[in-house]
């Protein structure tokens, strides 16, 4: 069976977002709209009542087939701040652990009049599969699938960069670490190139930064000093040990010696460089505590920005669903 093209599946007939599965196929206009809308939500965290009624009466289901604390919590907060009813489905105790198929589980959730599924899965393409097989009026948001994509993480990183650097023109950005197993790196690279960044460096050992990534518009660096030289932004990635097969690294201590971000190696970047990390952080493996907690770090800003970006994506997808020609509301208008 032929899979739908990402752009065709994610956008409605009017070019509005109705699912958010990947950044592949989305243009600069859509990404900028997400960032602009997220900016408008950021001030809500300072208000006494942190809610807007954009998703009032809607039911959002967090379908996390893979463990996560930060992503699930920020999606839950985002849904509640949009006034949605949010359900966290415990997959370990759900019917899928007793042999029920994924499609059967989805059909049952659809029968409960759910409006949006936030999906995290260890299999690449899982969110895409769900979007193809769900009823058309349920919005699907990808919260990370295998090695494939983590689009909301990439967009919260873009918001963090834009807020600290004012834009993307002329930036030099290094993404360091386990590129091979990182869905975050793939989505970040797509976002950065779409937003106009021409100097993106993927830095790490040959076993974790294969040469084929150059085809996506990045410069491959196996030397940390060359990778960090005069960059504006450094994104450190966690070693994805749970996804590694075979001896890709001699040891964590050797990786830290060659590719760890310390105060000494940070000095190769520009004096006003910012340091990012999608989390969770392995201190002393990819980054030192002095840098993670230091003046260049914007790691906690990423978490704050994550709530606003997820609010933006969820509200846009729900609006796109309501404006879709397949939606019940659109059919009523006809």
pLDDT tens track, the chain, 334 positions: 345 677 789 999 999 999 999 999 999 999 999 999 999 999 887 788 889 999 999 999 999 988 888 899 999 999 999 999 999 986 765 545 545 677 788 888 888 889 999 999 988 898 999 999 888 889 999 999 988 999 999 999 999 999 999 999 999 999 999 999 899 999 999 999 999 999 999 999 998 998 989 998 999 999 999 999 999 999 999 886 654 444 466 678 888 999 999 999 999 999 999 999 998 899 999 999 999 999 999 999 999 999 999 999 999 999 999 887 665 555 444 4
Which distant-in-sequence residues (6+ apart) come within 8 Å of 68 by Cβ? 120, 143, 144
Of 275, 265, 268, 260, nearest to 165 (Cα)?
275
Pair 104, 80: CB distance under 8 Å: no
Which distant-in-sequence residues (6+ apart) come within 8 Å of 136 by Cβ? 324, 326, 327
Question: Would you state the pLDDT for residue 273?
Answer: 98
For the chain, the domains span 6-148+306-333, 151-302
Domain 151-302 adopts which CATH fold?
Rossmann fold (3.40.50)
Please check whether the two domains, 6-148+306-333 and 151-302, share a CATH topology.
yes
Its CATH architecture, for the domain 6-148+306-333, is: 3-Layer(aba) Sandwich (3.40)
Question: Would you state the pLDDT for residue 327?
Answer: 58
- Indicate the annotated binding residues for L-aspartate: 98, 183, 238
Residue 229, strand partner residues: none
Pair 126, 160: CB distance under 8 Å: no
Question: Would you state the pLDDT for residue 103?
Answer: 78
Say how far apart CA 118 and CA 60 lie, in whole Å: 7
- Indicate the annotated binding residues: 70-71, 98, 120, 150, 153, 183, 238, 279-280
SS3 label, residue 101: coil
Say how far apart CA 325 and CA 194 lie, in whole Å: 28
Q: How far apart are the first and last CA of the chain?
A: 32
- Indicate the annotated binding residues for carbamoyl phosphate: 70-71, 120, 150, 153, 279-280
Check: pTM over 0.85? Answer yes or no. yes
């Amino acid at each position: 069976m032929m899979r739908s093209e990402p752009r065709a599946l994610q956008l409605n007939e009017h070019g509005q977002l109705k699912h958010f599965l990947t950044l592949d196929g989305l243009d600069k206009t859509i990404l900028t709209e997400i960032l602009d809308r997220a900016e408008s939500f950021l001030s809500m965290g300072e208000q006494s009542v942190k809610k807007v009624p954009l998703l009032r009466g809607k039911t959002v289901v967090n379908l996390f087939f893979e463990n996560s604390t930060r992503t699930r919590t920020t999606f839950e907060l985002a849904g509640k701040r949009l006034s949605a009813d949010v359900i966290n489905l415990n997959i370990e105790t759900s019917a899928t652990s007793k042999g029920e198929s994924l499609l059967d589980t989805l059909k049952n959730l659809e029968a409960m009049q759910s409006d949006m599924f936030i999906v995290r899965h260890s299999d690449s393409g899982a969110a895409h599969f769900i979007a193809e097989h769900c009823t058309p009026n349920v919005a699907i948001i990808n919260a990370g699938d295998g090695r494939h994509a983590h689009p909301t993480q990439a967009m919260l990183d873009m918001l963090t960069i834009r807020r600290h650097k004012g834009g993307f023109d002329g930036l030099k950005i290094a993404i360091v670490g386990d590129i091979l197993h990182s869905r975050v790196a793939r989505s970040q690279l797509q976002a950065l190139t779409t937003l106009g960044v021409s100097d993106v460096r993927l830095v790490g050992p040959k076993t974790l930064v294969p040469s084929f990534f150059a085809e996506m518009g990045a410069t491959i660096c196996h030397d940390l000093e060359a990778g960090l030289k005069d960059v504006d932004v450094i994104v450190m990635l966690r070693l994805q040990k749970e996804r590694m097969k075979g001896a890709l690294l001699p040891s964590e201590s050797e990786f830290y010696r060659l590719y760890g971000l310390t105060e000494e190696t940070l000095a190769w970047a520009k004096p006003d460089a910012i340091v990012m990390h999608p989390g969770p952080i392995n201190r002393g493996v990819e980054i030192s505590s002095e840098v993670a907690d230091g003046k260049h770090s914007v790691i906690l800003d990423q978490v704050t920005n994550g709530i606003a970006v997820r609010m933006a994506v969820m509200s846009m997808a729900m609006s796109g669903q309501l404006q879709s020609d397949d939606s019940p509301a659109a059919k009523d208008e006809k």
